[in-house]
Structure 1
Amino acid sequence: MVPDSVLNVPDALAVLTAHDAHDAPEVTMTVSAAPTGLELPPAALDAAAIVEVSGATVVFGLILAALVLFVTEAIPNDVTAIGVMAALVLLEPWTGVDARGAISGFANPATVTIIAMYMLSAGIQATGLVRRLGVHLADLTAGSEFRALVATVCTAGPLAGFINNTPVVAVFVPMITDLAAETRISPSKLLLPLSYAAILGGTLTVIGTSTNILASDFARILIDGRDGIGMFEFTGLGVVVLGVGTVYLLTVGRRLVPARVPVDADPIDEFDLDDHLAMMRVRSDSPVIGRSIDTLDADVPDVRILQLRRNGSARSGPDSAEPIRAEDRLVVHGTLQAINRFREATDLAQLVREDVTEETFETAETDGTLARAIVPEGSRYIGETIAETGLSEYHRTTVLAVRRAGELHRSGLSALQLQAGDLLLVRTTPPSIRYFTDTGDLLVAEETAVERLASADPADIAPISDTAPVAVAIMVGVVGIAALGALPIVIAALAGVFAMVVTGCLRPADAYDAVSWNVVFLLAGVIPLGLAMDRTGGAAMLSELLVATAQVLPPIGVLFLFTVVTALLANVITPVATVVLMIPVAVDAAVGFGANPFAFLLAVTFASATSFMTPVGYQTNLMVYGPGGYRFSDFLRVGGPLQLLVAVVTTVGIVVGWGL
C-alpha cells in the first residue's frame, strides 16, 4: 500500500495507470510534496485537488440520483442499481471505477453467500416444517387474541435468525390471516407484529439477513485482523434486541397497532366492490339464451361473467361452456356504466335486491372462491400487466380489485402493471391456489382455510416431506461449520446447497427460483458505488464531517448518532444500499477519533437491518402492507417508538459488549 503522506510524481503516474481492481481499492490518492525527488509545483497541487473534489462531487451526484430513484421507485430498484454500474464506468475519469470494478459486486463473497442462503431457505421451506408449525399455532391459541400475538411473535422471531426472514413472512402471512379468522380478531393486529418480529429475529445471526452477511464481508476488508464476523458473534446483542422488541410488541405496540381490517370482513365490502358486482336474471326472450359464458364473455371485454347460477348450483366463468338458459342468474363484474351497457344490450334483468357477497362464490356446487393474494418479492408477475400474466386464461383466476399503498384500483385492471406488495382480490379455484403456493408467484391469504374444506387433518394441510430430517441436518451442518470457522460462510453455504440438491431435498430449478434476483442485482450494483466513494475520497469527506461531532458529543453520542442516521436512511432506501454507503464512513470516522471501528460497524449493521418506520424500508413490511389494510402513518406510529427503542438498546449493548 502506498503511504498517503508521500506520493512523488513517478508514484502518482504509476497509480494513475494502474487499473487492477484488486490493487486500486488500497490506494489513497492524496498528492503532497515529496521529501525527495521532483516535487509538484503549487499549480499542479491545486489542479490535483480540483480533480479529487470533482470526483467526489460526481459520486455524490450519482448517490443523490440513486437515492431519489430508490425512494420514488420510478423504476425498479435493481434496474437503478444496474444504471449505477453503467454510470460509474462511463464517468471513470472522475469515479475511478473501471468495468472490472463495476461488476465486482457479482463476485463479492457476500453476494454469493446471499444467493446460497436463499436456496438453503427454500430447501427448509420445502420440508413443510414451517407450514406445519403455523397450522398448530391455531390450536395453541384457543381463540385468545393475546395468545395469538404471543404465538406469532415468539415463533417468527427465532425462525428468522436462521432462515431468511422474507420467506418466513411469506409462509406465515396466509397462516396468520387464517389464525386471525379463527380467533375472531382483525388480521391487522397480527400482521405488523409478524413483520417486526421477523426483522428483529434477523439480528440473531450473521445469516439472519443479507445486510448482516454484507457487513461481515466489510469487516474482513476494512478492519485489520478481522476475518469477517463470527456466526454467533453478536447473537447475545441480538437476543437482547429481540427480547426488548418482543416486550414492546406485546405491550405498547399491541395497543398502537390498529385493527384496519374488520373481523370477518366481507372482501366485497373491504374492496368497495358493491357497485362493481351485480346479479342478473336471464329473461325468456334474452338474446343470450343458448350461448355459453365463454363466447359471451369474449364479446363484452369491459364486463367479466364470473358465475352462472341455476337451481342452487353454480358454475364458474368465464371459461364455462354451459349454454345459458332462461331464468339463469349471472354474476358479472365491471364498472357501473359497463354493467348497465351490458344489461341493455343483452336484455337482462338486474336483481337489485340480491347482493353479491363472499358466500355467492363459496356455494358447495362451485369450484370457485374469493381470495386475497399478495404479490411477493421475486414473483414473475412483477412488471407485467394483469392481462399479460395470463391469470384468467391459464389459471381460471380473475382479478377483481387491487389495493396498492392505500389506493384502491377497481377499473382498468387489465392494463395495471403489478408491483411487489400489491394485494389482489381474486376469484380463483383451489387447484390454482395450490399452484400459486408451489411457485411462490402469489401468496394466497386464504390458503389454509380453503384446504381445510377438504380435510381437518394437519398432515393433509401441511404434509412433512420425507427429506425433512436430511434438510434440517444439512442446515445445522452449514451453521455449525461456519460458526466453528472450519470453512468461510460462503463455502459452507454453497456446500449446503450442493448437499441439498444431491440428496433430493431441493431441485435445481427450485433452487434458482428461490433466489430474489432483484435483491442480488441491487446488491451487486451498489457495492461499486461504495468503491467509488472510497477511491474519490467521498467516504473520507463524510467521515471527517462526522468526526467533527466528536468535539461536542461524547463517543457514545456519536455512536448513537450513527445508529439513528443509518436507521433513517434504511427506512427510505434499501437496507443493502444503506450498509454499503454507511459502513465505510462509520469505520473511517471511528478511526478518525480513535474509537473502536468494529463497534461502529455493528451499529450500522443493526440499524440497517431494523427498519420499522415505513412500509418500503424492508421487504417484510411491504408484504403485510396490503393484507393488513395499513396506512403509511401506521408504520410511523407503531414503528417509530420501536425504532428509537432499538437504537438505544443497540448503542448501549455495543458499548457494554465491545467498548468504544
Structure 2
Amino acid sequence: MILGLPTETALVFGLILVTVALFVTEVVSPDIVAIGLVVALVVLGPWTGISAEEGLSGFSNPATVTILAMYVLSKGIEETGVVRRLGAEVAHVTRGNENRLLAAVVALTGPIAGVINNTPVVAVFIPMVTDLAEEAGVSPSKLLLPLSYASMLGGTLTLIGTATNLVASDLSASLIDHPFSMFEFTSLGLVVLVVGSVYLLTVGKALTPARVTPGDRTTQYEIDAYLARVLVPARSPLVGVPAADVASDAARDLDIDILDVVRGHEHFIATDSDRELNARDILTVRGAPDEIKRFCDVADLRYLPRATVGDDELDNPAEGTLVELVVPSESSVVGDTIAGARVRERYDATVIGVRRRNGDLVRERFGPHVIEAGDSLLLQTTEETVEYLLETHEFVVTGEIPDLIDRIRGRELQPTTLPALAIVGSVIGLAALGVVPIVIAALGGVVAMVVTGILTPSDAYDAVNWNVIFLLAGVIPLGLAMQDTGGVDVLASGVVALSALVPAVGMLAAFYLLTGLLANVVTPVASVVLLLPIAVDTAGRIGADPFAFVLAVTFAASTAFMTPVGYQTNLMVYGPGGYRFTDYVRVGAPLQALLTVVTTLGIVVLWGV
C-alpha cells in the first residue's frame, strides 16, 4: 500500500502525474513521452497489468489506424487545390470589410473542418486571412484566433471531425458497447458550432486583441534599424565579385546578410545570383548597425543613411519577396538551429527576423537560434520558393504574395478534384450506412487515392502526422492500465461522493468542465483516455446514462480554447497573431464556460441523462 492505495494503483497514478508534467513542460516532445510511457507500462507489467501485446495495442487500435487514413484522405483533397480555391473566392468577395471577412472565415472554416482534418484547413486559410487583413488595414490578430476556434468547433460535427472523436468512439465501444455512428452527434455539433460562431462574431470579436499592427512586416518584426542600403564605389574590392560569393562571405565572416542588389531599375537576390557586382550597385543588407558599419569599412562601401528599407523595397515579386512562416509541431526542423536547418541552402531564403512563440523578437545572430514549434520566421526568398513552401509540411505560410490569390482564382481545378471528392464522400457514406466499419472505409479510400493517381505512395506516407499517431498509440494503453489496476474505480468513488450534493446534470457539466481544463494543458486525446472511463463508471454508480457522459467528455476535449498548446491550430496562429498566452484565456475562457452550459443542456435535451 502507498498512501492508502494499492501499490499497482499508486504506481499508475504516478506514471500519469509524470506524463502530465512532461506534457505541460514540453521538456520532451509529447510523442516521445507517449512512447516512453508504453515502455514504462510494459516494463512495470507485474504491477500495471500491461503485457507487451497490450502495450503495443495502441498501434493496431481502429481509432489510430482511422486517423492515419484520414490524414491521407485530407491530403488528397488538399492536393486538388479545391480548399485553396474556395479560400481565394472568399478572399475576393470579402476584401476590405472586416466584419464580412470575419463572418466568412468562421462560416466557411467550421463546416469544412467537420469532414477534413482541420490542420491543413487552417494552414490554407492563414495566409489568405493575413493578406486580406493587411489590405483592409485590420490587425491579423483579430481574425486568426477566431479562425482556429472555428476549426475546432467544426470538429464536433461528425465522427471524423477530430482524432479525439475517433478515440472516444473506440473507448465508448469497449466500455458501453456503443461506438459513434458518422452523424450521431451532428445535431449537437451544429448547436455548438452556431453558438460558438455567434460568440466569435460578437463577444469574441470585442475580446480578441489587436496584437499585430497592420502594416509592413519589417515594422512588425522591429527590424527597420537592422536593414540598410550601401553603395559599391568603383574602388571597392567587391567590384567584379559574383553577388552570391559576396553574400556567402559576408554571412560567414560577419553577422551580415546581403539581401538583394539594386542596379538602376533592376533588382536581383544576391544569394541566388552569379552575376558580378558593378560599380554604383546598391546592396540591401541586414545586420546590427555596428556590424553594417564594420562591413562598410572592410569592403570600402558607402553607407546611404537616407535610404529606407521596408516591405516595398524588399517585396519585389519579379525577383524576390518577403514571406512569413510559422513552424508547426510536426516539422522536421523543430529542435534544429537555423544554421543546422540550412534554411538558406534548402530554400534559397534569408532569415531577416524571428518571432519566438513567447512573443520575443530575434533580429540578429540567427544561426544559433533553436527553432521551436510556434516560432515565426520572416524570410526573403523567391516567388517559386513561396509556391513550394505552400505545398510542404515543414512550414505554414502565413503571408503570401498578394497576387497569388488572384492567380489561384484564375486556375482551373485539378482533374483529380471530382475523383478525390467522390472518394471522401464514399468513405463517409459507407461508414454512415454501416456497410463497413469506418476504419475499413477509410483504408479503402487511401487505396483509391493512390490507385487513381491522386496521391503517390510517397505522398500518402508524407501526409501522416506521425507525431500524433505515436502520441495516440502511446496513451491508449494508459487507459487500460487505469482500468486493470483499479484506478478508475478509485477516482470514480471519489467523484460519486459529490453526487449527494450535485444532481446528475451538475455531474455531467462537471465532467465537461474538467475534461476541457485538462485538454488545455495536456492533449485532447490524453484527456479523453484518462477521463472517459471515469465518467462512464461514475454514470453507472449514480444511475445516469453513460452515453451522455461519453458525449460530454468527447465534446469538451475538442474545445481546448484556453491555451496555445491545447490544440495544434491554436499553436499555428500563435506566432502570426502575435498573441500572448493570456489572450487565449481572455477569449477562450468565456467560450469554454458558455459551451459547458450549452453542451450540457443539449445532451440533456437530445439524449437525456
TM-score, normalized by length of structure 1?
A: 0.89
> Quick one: which amino acid aligns to residue 68 of structure 1?
A
Instruction: Compute the displacement of 1:419 (Å).
Output: 2.6
**Where do residues 257-336 of structure 1 align in structure 2 (5 Å cutoff)?**
257-263=208-214, 265-300=215-250, 301=252, 302-336=255-289
Instruction: Compute the displacement of 1:448 (Å).
Output: 5.2
Q: 2:10 aligns with which of 57, 60, 65?
A: 57
Task: Give the equivalent residue in structure 1 for 2:529.
Answer: 580
Contact in 1 for aligned 2:243/2:274 (Cα 8 Å): yes
Are 2:481 and 1:532 equivalent residues in the alignment?
A: yes
> Quick one: which amino acid aligns to residue 308 of structure 1?
V
Task: Give the equivalent residue in structure 2 for 1:35.
Answer: none
Q: 1:602 aligns with which of 539, 543, 551?
A: 551
Are 2:177 and 1:229 equivalent residues in the alignment?
A: no
**Where do residues 341-490 of structure 1 align in structure 2 (5 Å cutoff)?**
341-363=294-316, 366-405=318-357, 406-447=359-400, 449-451=402-404, 456=407, 458-460=409-411, 463-490=412-439
What SS is found at the alignment partner of 1:413?
Answer: coil
Gaps of 5+ in 1: 1-46
Instruction: Compute the displacement of 1:432 (Å).
Output: 0.6
Contact in 1 for aligned 2:31/2:468 (Cα 8 Å): yes
**Where do residues 192-207 of structure 1 align in structure 2 (5 Å cutoff)?**
192-207=145-160
Question: d(CA) in 1 for partners of 2:408 and 2:453?
Answer: 26
Question: d(CA) in 2 for partners of 1:338 and 1:86?
Answer: 51
Question: d(CA) in 2 for partners of 1:534 and 1:448?
Answer: 54
Q: 2:119 aligns with which of 166, 170, 175?
A: 166
Q: Deviation per CA, 1:251-303, whole angstroms, max 9, x where unpaired? A: 1111111222222x111110011232221122332222222222223333221
Instruction: Compute the displacement of 1:138 (Å).
Output: 2.2
> Quick one: which amino acid aligns to residue 409 of structure 1?
V
Task: Give the equivalent residue in structure 2 for 1:655.
Answer: 604
Question: d(CA) in 1 for partners of 2:102 and 2:140?
Answer: 10
Question: d(CA) in 2 for partners of 1:96 and 1:656?
Answer: 40
> Quick one: which amino acid aligns to residue 349 of structure 2?
T
Q: Deviation per CA, 1:127-174, whole angstroms, max 9, x where unpaired? A: 111111111112322522111111100000011111111111111111
**Compared with structure 1, are the counterparts of its residues 105 and 207 closer, same or farther at alpha carbon in structure 2 (3 Å cutoff)?**
same
What SS is found at the alignment partner of 2:271?
Answer: coil
> Quick one: which amino acid aligns to residue 489 of structure 1?
I
**Where do residues 622-637 of structure 1 align in structure 2 (5 Å cutoff)?**
622-637=571-586
Task: Give the equivalent residue in structure 2 for 1:118.
Answer: 71
What SS is found at the alignment partner of 1:220?
Answer: helix
Question: d(CA) in 2 for partners of 1:182 and 1:445?
Answer: 14
With 124-133 and 201-210 compared, the bigger mean Cα shift is at 124-133
Are 2:141 and 1:191 equivalent residues in the alignment?
A: no
Contact in 1 for aligned 2:123/2:397 (Cα 8 Å): no
Instruction: Compute the displacement of 1:459 (Å).
Output: 2.6
Gaps of 5+ in 2: none
Question: d(CA) in 2 for partners of 1:311 and 1:50?
Answer: 79
What SS is found at the alignment partner of 2:225?
Answer: coil
Question: d(CA) in 1 for partners of 2:249 and 2:416?
Answer: 50
Q: 2:492 aligns with which of 543, 548, 562?
A: 543
Question: d(CA) in 1 for partners of 2:188 and 2:447?
Answer: 32
With 432-441 and 319-328 compared, the bigger mean Cα shift is at 319-328
Question: d(CA) in 1 for partners of 2:507 and 2:239?
Answer: 77
**Where do residues 3-18 of structure 1 align in structure 2 (5 Å cutoff)?**
none
Q: Deviation per CA, 1:180-229, whole angstroms, max 9, x where unpaired? A: 233332221211111111000000001000000000000110004x2x11
Contact in 1 for aligned 2:523/2:566 (Cα 8 Å): yes
Question: d(CA) in 2 for partners of 1:51 and 1:490?
Answer: 42
Contact in 1 for aligned 2:94/2:100 (Cα 8 Å): yes
| RMSD (Å) for aligned C-alpha atoms | 1.8
What SS is found at the alignment partner of 1:323?
Answer: coil
With 346-355 and 128-137 compared, the bigger mean Cα shift is at 346-355
Contact in 1 for aligned 2:356/2:375 (Cα 8 Å): yes
Are 2:444 and 1:495 equivalent residues in the alignment?
A: yes
Task: Give the equivalent residue in structure 2 for 1:180.
Answer: 133
With 379-388 and 170-179 compared, the bigger mean Cα shift is at 379-388
Contact in 1 for aligned 2:323/2:386 (Cα 8 Å): no
Contact in 1 for aligned 2:38/2:56 (Cα 8 Å): yes
Contact in 1 for aligned 2:95/2:132 (Cα 8 Å): no
Question: d(CA) in 1 for partners of 2:485 and 2:330?
Answer: 35
Q: Deviation per CA, 1:222-251, whole angstroms, max 9, x where unpaired? A: 004x2x111111100000000100111111
Question: d(CA) in 2 for partners of 1:477 and 1:244?
Answer: 30
Are 2:192 and 1:241 equivalent residues in the alignment?
A: yes
Question: d(CA) in 2 for partners of 1:426 and 1:142?
Answer: 25
**Where do residues 209-224 of structure 1 align in structure 2 (5 Å cutoff)?**
209-224=162-177
Question: d(CA) in 2 for partners of 1:142 and 1:363?
Answer: 22
> Quick one: which amino acid aligns to residue 143 of structure 1?
G
Contact in 2 for aligned 1:173/1:445 (Cα 8 Å): yes
What SS is found at the alignment partner of 2:160?
Answer: helix
Task: Give the equivalent residue in structure 2 for 1:136.
Answer: 89
Question: d(CA) in 2 for partners of 1:432 and 1:391?
Answer: 12
Question: d(CA) in 2 for partners of 1:377 and 1:630?
Answer: 17
Contact in 2 for aligned 1:308/1:315 (Cα 8 Å): yes
Contact in 1 for aligned 2:152/2:558 (Cα 8 Å): yes
Q: Which runs of 4+ in 1 moved over 4 A?
A: 49-52
**Compared with structure 1, are the counterparts of its residues 52 and 131 closer, same or farther at alpha carbon in structure 2 (3 Å cutoff)?**
same
Task: Give the equivalent residue in structure 2 for 1:107.
Answer: 60
TM-score, normalized by length of structure 2?
A: 0.96
Task: Give the equivalent residue in structure 2 for 1:614.
Answer: 563
Task: Give the equivalent residue in structure 2 for 1:19.
Answer: none
Question: d(CA) in 2 for partners of 1:610 and 1:505?
Answer: 33
**Compared with structure 1, are the counterparts of its residues 65 and 616 closer, same or farther at alpha carbon in structure 2 (3 Å cutoff)?**
same
Are 2:107 and 1:157 equivalent residues in the alignment?
A: no
What SS is found at the alignment partner of 1:399?
Answer: strand
Task: Give the equivalent residue in structure 2 for 1:590.
Answer: 539
**Compared with structure 1, are the counterparts of its residues 448 and 159 closer, same or farther at alpha carbon in structure 2 (3 Å cutoff)?**
farther
Instruction: Compute the displacement of 1:52 (Å).
Output: 6.6
Instruction: Compute the displacement of 1:409 (Å).
Output: 2.0
Task: Give the equivalent residue in structure 2 for 1:31.
Answer: none
Question: d(CA) in 2 for partners of 1:459 and 1:392?
Answer: 31
- Greater Rg by CA: 1
Question: d(CA) in 2 for partners of 1:306 and 1:323?
Answer: 15
Identity of aligned residues (%): 52
**Compared with structure 1, are the counterparts of its residues 334 and 457 closer, same or farther at alpha carbon in structure 2 (3 Å cutoff)?**
closer
Question: d(CA) in 2 for partners of 1:473 and 1:125?
Answer: 14
Question: d(CA) in 2 for partners of 1:66 and 1:437?
Answer: 35
